[in-house]
Every structure is written in C-alpha cells, then in structure tokens.
Amino acid sequence: MLYRTIWNLAWPAVFAQGVRSIVMFVIRVVVSEMGEKAYNSVNIGLMVFMVILTVIAAIAVGNTAMVAQCWGAGDRERAGRILQQSLMWGLLLSLIIAVIGTPASRLLFYLLRADAETVKLGSSFMVWLFMAVPFMTPGFFLASGLRAAGDTKTPMVGAVIMGVLAVVLSYGLTLGKLGMPRLEILGAALAIGGSFSSFTVFLAIVFALNRTVIKLPLRGWRLDFKVGLAMFKIGMPSALEWILIQLGILIYVFVIYRYGDEAAAGYFTGMAILVFAHASGMGFQVASATLVGQSVGAKRFDRAESAFRHCALLSFGCMIVVGLIIYALTTPSLLSLLFGELSKESIMHARTFITLLVFAMPLMGVSFSMAGGLRGAGDTVPPLVASTVGVYLGRIVAAFGLYYLFQPPIVLIWCSMFPDLILRILLMSLRLRSGKWKKGKV
C-alpha cells in the first residue's frame, strides 16, 4: 500500500515536471536554429533563470513542510492560513528578485568572460525573464500547498496547459511561425514568461472556484511575521542550497568553456536531455516530502522512515529505466536532427556527456528522494550541507584540479559528477541514521 501511495503522489508530479522539461527542451531546440552563440547565451540565461525558480521553489519548501505537517495532524484550517501567508511572502520575494536582477543581467556574462555578442543576447533574454518573475511566483506556492495536502493532479493539469502554451509561443515568437512575428531571443523569453504565468492563472481560477482540497481563507490577507519567519527559516537553507548548486555549476561551466564552444554546446545539449531525468527524480522528491511531512505531523516516525526507504528505492529503479530509454533514443543522428545548427563535434560531445549521465541518474534519484524527505520533516540544513560539499568538493575541486594539473580530455572533467553525488548521499544517510530529523518543529 505504501508503494501505491508513493506512486499515486509521484506520477502526477513526474508528469508535470516532464512537461516543464519538454518546455525547456523545445526552447533550446528552437534557439539552436540561430547558431551556437545564441544557443550558448540562452543556455546560460536559462541556468540563471533556474536559480531564480529554485530560490522561489525553495521558499515554497517551507510552505510544503508546514502545510504537510498541519495536514498530517488534522489541522486543515491552519494549513489554509499558512498557504495564504506563503502567497503574500512569496510575491514580496519575487518583487525583490525582479528589482535586483533586472539591472544585474549583464554582470554574469562579463564574469564568465563571454564575448560581446553573447553578453548582448544573453542579458536581453534575462531582463525579460526577470520582469515576468512576479507573475510566475504565486503558482509555485499554490502548487506546493496542494501537493503538501496530497493533491498532485491539479498542478499536473496546470503544467499541461503551461506546456502547450510554451511550445506554441516559443516556436511562433522565436522563429516567426504560426503567423507570429519573429522576435528571436526576445520571443523565447516571452514564451517562458507567458507560459509560466498561465500556470499561476490556472491555479488561481481553481482556488477561486473552490475546487481544491485545501481552502484559502477569505479574510486575514495581511503579513504575519511569525508565520513568515517560520517559513523562511525552513525554506532559506533550501534556497541557499540551490543557489550554491547553480553557482557551482556556473563555475563548472567556466572550466568547460576552456575546451571551446563545441564542448560547451555539447554540455548544454546534454543538460537539455538531463531535465527529462530530473522530472522522474523530482516526482519522487515531492512524494517523499509529502509522506514524510504528513507522517512527522502525525508523530508516525516509523511510517516516515519507511517512506524514506521506499521512495529512495523506487526513485533508484525508475531512474535506471529512464536512463536506458534516454540512452537508446538520443543517438547522434537524432541529436543532429534536433539541433541542426550545431557542429558534428558538439553533437559527439553531447552524446558522450549523455552516456555518463545514464550511469549517474540512479544516484540522482536516491539523492532527490532523501533530500525531499528531510525537507518534508523541516530538516533543511543537512541537504544544504550535503549539496554544498558534493558540488564544491566532489565536483568543482576535482574539475579544476584535473584541468590545471593534467588538462585531460573533457570526458574526465564531466566524470566529477560521480564523487559529487556519492558525497551527497553519504552525508544525508548519516543524518537519517542519527534520527535528529525527527526533532524538527515547524
């Protein structure tokens, strides 16, 4: 029955994340039609955009943990009040991000020592994304509240609507198809902003029609600093974790760029494929966070421990299957067809990187589910520590050390992902064994 419960929670989240993965993949494919300069600049912009989204999603982790534990304890009214507060605090956070991020868009590309054309293209792309952030943010918090209450299907429907809109807009506005103007990189940015905002609109309508398991109070729409502080206390370690991960990956890209534009394009193409694997891992992360959070709220620690084990096992197996499917499908000929403007060398680099990812995916699945369970328990600092040690010690130090000491083939630089993931799993396993995660209060 626990396996069935995990799967019922996971598959809609897997599907929703898969739709988002398709969105990002299609945008990369469309933008690749404009050449490697535009392709690389948009990919760097998308990495920064993912930092923004993960910071917002990380604060929503506080909402998830608090709502899940209230739901597990049977306090439905308080769960609704917490979701209400999360919407207000999340919107305030998004406005701050937009105000700071818009004028700073060029700085990142200068720090990466990108050429003038890449700076111009990438910074323009990012400015429009920053402007759309306040319209995207409420959707993250509404979805996290629903998932914490056990409803993963409603966010899935919203993700499907978002995905269809994103594919149509990116194809039409970027390349001037379907009767739309050709806006190129601006079109890609508008497609992302518009589609993610549609996710917010859909969920807002569902809540307004009172068709959700968790209810938003009609009154009390003023900031509660006590609830806000508790939410940020839980969510900020996750936000810092994901910021440090993305910052680490950007530093990692600095090393990859030393091997030329073709190696960078191959890496970004492999990352475009990786988002499909992430969809599976994120689904089980949602299931783990929900089940562990509700079990901790109900003081059922035996059930929480069982959820940890079973989510990790299912995620491991699922990622093996997904990895094999990805490897079978992403042949050089298919990659060349999808990314027609990329050079043959870029395509071969992409195929090599994808091959390595197939072996890393099961480890990613275990890491995702363990981190999700700890966050659901409100114990968000250990995943932060594990990820930071993994990325900076296991990946970046290894990559820089290999490059500056031996200057090996790029494939050995990419292999640094393995010590990264192993360190993360080891450190989170030690936390689970200690039992200290059971003592967290939200």
pLDDT for 429 equals: 94
Counting residues of the chain whose pLDDT is more than 90, the rounded percentage is 23
The answer to whether residue 354 is domain-embedded is yes
Cα 181 to Cα 187: distance, rounded to the nearest angstrom: 9
Number of domains in the chain: 1
pLDDT band of 129, cuts 50, 70, 90: confident
Q: What digits encode the pLDDT tens for the residues 311-358?
A: 999 899 989 998 899 899 889 888 888 777 778 888 999 899 999 999
Neighbours of 229 (CB within 10 A): 12
Q: What digits encode the pLDDT tens for the residues 53-103?
A: 777 877 787 888 888 888 888 888 999 999 999 999 989 988 988 888 777
What 8-state DSSP symbol labels residue 437? G
The answer to whether residue 440 is domain-embedded is no
The answer to whether residue 324 is domain-embedded is yes
Cα 225 to Cα 71: distance, rounded to the nearest angstrom: 21
The answer to whether residue 442 is domain-embedded is no
Cα 18 to Cα 23: distance, rounded to the nearest angstrom: 9
The answer to whether residue 152 is domain-embedded is yes
More confidently predicted of 145 and 27:
145
The answer to pTM > 0.85 is no
- Please state the separation of Cα 142 from the chain's center in Å: 17
What 8-state DSSP symbol labels residue 380? -
pLDDT band of 293, cuts 50, 70, 90: confident
Cα 216 to Cα 84: distance, rounded to the nearest angstrom: 6
The answer to whether residue 196 is domain-embedded is yes
The answer to whether residue 439 is domain-embedded is no
Q: What digits encode the pLDDT tens for the residues 208-252?
A: 998 888 998 888 889 888 888 888 888 788 778 877 887 888 788
Domain that holds residue 216: 2-434
Q: What digits encode the pLDDT tens for the residues 17-37?
A: 777 777 777 877 788 777 767
Mean pLDDT on 406-414: 90
pLDDT for 114 equals: 65
For residue 316, give Cα distances in angstroms to 67, 313, 319, 323, 332.
27, 5, 5, 11, 27
